[in-house]
Every structure is written in C-alpha cells, then in structure tokens.
Amino acid sequence: MKNLKKLLALSLAFVLAIGVSACGSSTKDGGSDTSASGKEVYRTLDEIKKDGTINIGVFSDKNPFGYVDENGEYQGYDVYFADRLAKDLGVKVNYVSTEAANRIEYLQTGKVDVILANFTVTEERAEEVDFANPYMNVSLGVVSRDDNVITSLDNWNKDDSIIVISGTTAETYLTKNYPDIPLQKFDSYATAKEAFENGTSVAWANDNTEVIAFSLQNKGYTVGIPELGSADSIAPAVTKGNDTLLNWINDEITSLGEENFFHADYEATLADTYGMDYEDSLVVEGGKTE
C-alpha cells in the first residue's frame, strides 16, 4: 500500500512536469504568449465599460508615486492619474497592489487592465506589453550615506553591495553594465528601504525620482549619482494587443495635456516631496517628451 502510494505520487509529479513543458512548447519564444491559446486574456475598452470597473495595477508602498495612506486610501502621482482615467472612462476603479517584478505578469495574465506603477519604458518590456504615451521623465540614481557618499560606480570595492529592487530598471542596468558589483535584491520598496536604513549595503540604486525622494525624506543620505544610464520615460502599460484601451489612453493623455493635468498632478502629489524645482524636469505633458 505504501509503495503504491509512493509510486502514484512519483508518477503524478512526472505527469505534472511533462504537462508543464508540453503546454509551454506549443508557444513561440519571446514569452508574449498571451494570445497563443486563441482566447484573449485582456478586456477591451467596451468590455471594461460594460463591466463598470477598471482594474489598475499600482504600487502600494512607493511614496509619493503610489502608496496607501493612513486611511487605507491609494494616493500618489500615479494614483491621481488613475483616478482621472477611471472618471473619464465613467467606471469605478479597483486598485490592485503590484510589486516591481510582477507588473508584466499581471498584464499578461489579465489580472489588471492597466499598469500605472511608475513603469519605465524599455525595449525589452515593450516586447511583452504595450506602452501608451509617457507621463513622466525618469533616469536612474544612486543614494548613499552622508559619511560615505558614492559618486561613481567605477573601481568598485567588491565587499560592498548595492541594494536594488527585483524587476526594476536599476537591476537590469547594473546586471548588464556592472556585472561585478554585488547586488542585494529585495522584492518590495518597503523591505529595500528598511534594509538600507539598517545599513546592510553602502548604496541603493533605483529610479532617481525615488532616491531623491528618499534623501529628501530621510536625514543623513545623499544622492551621489543623480543620473545614471540613459534618460527614460514612464508610461501606462496595457496587455499586448489591447489596442482599443491603448488608443483611448493615448487620446486621454493628449487631451489632459490641454488642461496641464500632469502639472496639477505634480503640484498635488509630488510638490510636498520635491518642491517646485523638479516640476519641469519630471512632468511630461500631453504624452510628448522633448
């Protein structure tokens, strides 16, 4: 009886493993297999309108871009925009909290309709999801302690590590360009912040908006490298192929530009952290970067 059970369990494990590989092998390389099964995972604009609720993926721990305030309400630059999207679409909004590393999966599996989680546009990501027009500028930055300000990543001391968040552009950039620097990886902003404050690493690399905000909100830290790598932009993303929703968002961003919506968004959500100095360098109005 015991042996039989064991045999059964073993064969089940095998069937499962083979099943997984068989399912996978029917799809092409590249990973964007959302439409391979013939049934689309995303909801079109009409379907969302009919349903009356749009699911938007935002951060819940990235103050001041997307976070949950003390009353349990989602707040921040991204959320301000998301609220407006839902209002103009005439639907209710359901916020889904995401982490950096699962933003693409959430779209590919249809768990959310739009990702508005400070999502930096990159070529690799654009192969997996469709980006709308940008609404913010961003680049990478590195923050370190005042007593040991890091201003360059060259001649790196191998005993020191840099904190990054799994699935961010900072991780991709450092992995590609500085493979020798040890990275300490965390899966959420909250834990990365906590670990950095506890002094486990000498520096923290992330979007420069985030590290500047961190150094302004916390005493004793300096952004030694304010711009690293190329200047990028941040845009809403939808599931690959969801053109109706994508076009609508693009039109919306264009028309919001006429009322200077994103400047108002900045003043409402970011001005407290950054002051007015960064307004023109951060905000992208009407979906057009210079």
Partner 1 sequence: MNWDFIMEYLPMYERAAILTVKLGLIGIAFAVLVGLICAMIQYHKIPVARQIVAVYIELSRNTPLLVQLFFIYYGLPKLGLQFGPELCGIIGLAFLGGSYMAESFRSGLETIEPIQRESALSLGMTNRQTMQYVILPQAVSISVPAFVANVIFLLKETSVFSAISLMDLMFTAKDLIGLYYKTIESLFLLVVFYLIILLPVSILGSLLERRLRHAGFGA
- Using CB under 8 A, list all residues that contact partner 1: 2, 6, 10, 13, 16-17, 20-21, 23-25, 27, 29-31, 33, 100-102, 104-105, 108, 124-125, 128, 166-168, 171-172, 175, 184-187, 191, 194-195, 198-200
Q: In what order do the strands lie in the sheet with 66-68?
A: 61-62, 66-68, 74-75
Q: For residues 185 and 263, which CB has a smaller minimum distance to partner 1 in the complex?
A: 185
Helix-, strand-, coil-residue percentages of the chain, each rounded to 5: 45, 25, 35
Q: For residues 77 and 106, which CB has a smaller minimum distance to partner 1 in the complex?
A: 106
Nearest approach, Cβ of 24 to partner 1 (angstroms)? Answer: 3
Q: For residues 190 and 268, which CB has a smaller minimum distance to partner 1 in the complex?
A: 190
Nearest approach, Cβ of 102 to partner 1 (angstroms)? Answer: 7
Q: Could you tell me which of 207, 212, 269, 267 has the C-alpha nearest to residue 69?
A: 269
Nearest approach, Cβ of 6 to partner 1 (angstroms)? Answer: 7
| Distance (Å) of CA 243 to CA 87, 147, 240, 274, 277 | 20, 50, 8, 35, 36
Q: For residues 52 and 182, which CB has a smaller minimum distance to partner 1 in the complex?
A: 182
Nearest approach, Cβ of 259 to partner 1 (angstroms)? Answer: 36
Q: For residues 34 and 63, which CB has a smaller minimum distance to partner 1 in the complex?
A: 34
Q: For residues 42 and 186, which CB has a smaller minimum distance to partner 1 in the complex?
A: 186
| Distance (Å) of CA 60 to CA 71, 95, 111, 146 | 13, 9, 16, 28
Nearest approach, Cβ of 93 to partner 1 (angstroms)? Answer: 25
| Distance (Å) of CA 158 to CA 2, 153, 163, 170, 173 | 52, 11, 14, 18, 18
Q: Where does the chain have alpha helices with state H?
A: 2-25, 45-51, 77-89, 103-108, 123-128, 169-177, 189-197, 208-217, 243-258, 261-265, 271-274, 279-282
Q: For residues 94 and 175, which CB has a smaller minimum distance to partner 1 in the complex?
A: 175
Q: Which residues of 142-151 are buried (b: 16+ CB within 10 A; e: fewer)?
A: bbbbeeebbe
Nearest approach, Cβ of 89 to partner 1 (angstroms)? Answer: 28
Nearest approach, Cβ of 276 to partner 1 (angstroms)? Answer: 34
